[in-house]
Structure 1
Amino acid sequence: MMKKVLFVCTANSARSQMAEALLRHLAGDQFEVFSAGTAPSGVDPRTLDAIKGFGLNAEGLVSKSVASLGERHFDYVISLCDKAHQECRHWPSSGVVIAWDFPDPKTSPDPNAFARTMQEIGERLRLFVLVNSKKVDSEIRPLPPLTFFKSLADETRLLSLLLIEQEGELCVCELMEALALPQPKISRHLSQLRKHGLLLDRRQGQWVFYRIHPLLSDWMRNMLKETLKHSPELLEQPLARLNEMNSRPSAEGNSCDEERINEH
């Protein structure tokens, strides 16, 4: 029988919904997944956008109360904020109770807060699946270090990864502008990075946007961050060109010029 997992936070509007969608994607054949809140307030639209942006299914995600679950038994009850943990630490009929405290993206001024929260919860869940299941889905196998370092050895791939890490998400035409390279070359390198699991893509209209894969190993993600921190000169010119770009594509509906859309 599949083990039952319940994710709990106060409002059941962001973090617990993300965790539910992520675990279903990673190991839905091994775990029966639920989420609930101690004071549910409805799913934040930005949560659904973040889930869909990571290529996951957001259908059926609704905010619900812990009380609505009755006396159902759960093998794991995982709280995602300290308040919910305090209120549910004596959950009836529960097996293992785990406390994960992630900052609430709704209160953050960071425009990428929801995406970053998805990334952080995804990293934690990958470890949870590894520890608590007998098999690991092929989608969450760690990227071999040799493949990671080979990816960084090419200048175009390295700069693309650093730009995406810096900006949170970029499309092909933005990378073309920043790196002053033609579309076929950019697309070829992005395809390799996506194939090896360093990038995740999402389609919006006729464009494909790329972000760092949420399940990239912590040490690999930290290496990109440290490179940005200690070698800012690498992106000095690319960022200057990117910032001068007119009508940059975005979730708000801007689009690149027709010629580039046709090229892509």
Structure 2
Amino acid sequence: MSDKKNVLVLCTGNSCRSQLMHGYLAKFLGDQANVYSAGIETHGVNPKAIQVMHEDGVDIAHHTSNHVDEYAAVPFDYVITVCDNAREACPVFPSSATMLHHNFPDPAKATGTPDKILDQFRAVREQVKTYAQAFMRQYFQ
């Protein structure tokens, strides 16, 4: 039996915010945790999410957009919802899971020039990175 913790990051479409968080948690926690991300729907991984993570040295190009039901059998230690919609529609997990929530803005809804849209992705990436570091310090030190 592994001592690794199971962490699930949940958002609406598993395309941006949960993918960013998944990438950072996998990087920061390394072999301390199995990190999963999923959505209540699946929208595919957003190419801009892949791009801004690559800029920060994290490769999420291999990630897939997964539906939360795929992980029904996984005993999660932590479930982090990263948007209000996911929290409201979140399936019930066994009570042993620590439920955490932070509503990040959805960069996929950004408008304007391509540069302005990428800036929004970068801003959300930085918020997610800060949260991921705080989560690691609080639960994995």
**TM-score scaled by structure 2?**
0.89
Q: 1:131 to 1:9 in 2, by over 3 A?
A: same
Please give the alpha-carbon distance, in whole angstroms, between the structure 2 residues aligned to 1:37 and 1:131: 25
Kindly indicate whether residue 44 of structure 2 is the aligned counterpart of residue 42 of structure 1.
Answer: yes
2:132 aligned residue (125, 128, 138): 125
**TM-score scaled by structure 1?**
0.49
1:57 corresponds to: 59
**CA apart distance, 1:71:** 2.3
> Considering only aligned residues, what root-mean-square deviation do their CA atoms show, in Å?
1.4
SS in 2 for 1:131: helix
Greater relative CO (CA pairs within 8 A, separation 6+) = 2
Residues matched between the structures, number: 134
Does the aligned pair in 2 maintain the 1:71–1:92 contact within 8 Å?
no
Does the aligned pair in 1 maintain the 2:8–2:35 contact within 8 Å?
yes
Which has the larger Rg?
Answer: 1
* TM-superposition CA deviations, 1:120-171 (whole Å, max 9, x none): 010011111111113xxxxxxxxxxxxxxxxxxxxxxxxxxxxxxxxxxxxx
**CA apart distance, 1:88:** 1.2
Mark the runs of 5 or more structure 2 residues left unpaired by the alignment: none
Please give the alpha-carbon distance, in whole angstroms, between the structure 2 residues aligned to 1:113 and 1:94: 35
Please give the alpha-carbon distance, in whole angstroms, between the structure 2 residues aligned to 1:73 and 1:132: 17
**CA apart distance, 1:83:** 0.6
Where has structure 1 moved over 2 Å in runs of 4 or more?
Answer: 89-94
Matching residue's letter, 2:107: P
Please give the alpha-carbon distance, in whole angstroms, between the structure 2 residues aligned to 1:64 and 1:106: 17
Does the aligned pair in 1 maintain the 2:27–2:58 contact within 8 Å?
yes
**CA apart distance, 1:100:** 0.9
Mark the runs of 5 or more structure 1 residues left unpaired by the alignment: 135-264
* TM-superposition CA deviations, 1:233-256 (whole Å, max 9, x none): xxxxxxxxxxxxxxxxxxxxxxxx
Please give the alpha-carbon distance, in whole angstroms, between the structure 1 residues aligned to 2:4 and 2:26: 12
Kindly indicate whether residue 53 of structure 2 is the aligned counterpart of residue 86 of structure 1.
Answer: no
2:20 corresponds to: 18
1:114 corresponds to: 121
2:35 aligned residue (33, 36, 39): 33
Does the aligned pair in 1 maintain the 2:50–2:59 contact within 8 Å?
no
Q: 1:82 to 1:72 in 2, by over 3 A?
A: same
SS in 1 for 2:37: strand
Matching residue's letter, 2:90: C
Does the aligned pair in 2 maintain the 1:77–1:94 contact within 8 Å?
no
**CA apart distance, 1:2:** 1.1
Please give the alpha-carbon distance, in whole angstroms, between the structure 2 residues aligned to 1:67 and 1:23: 21
**CA apart distance, 1:94:** 4.9
Does the aligned pair in 1 maintain the 2:14–2:43 contact within 8 Å?
yes
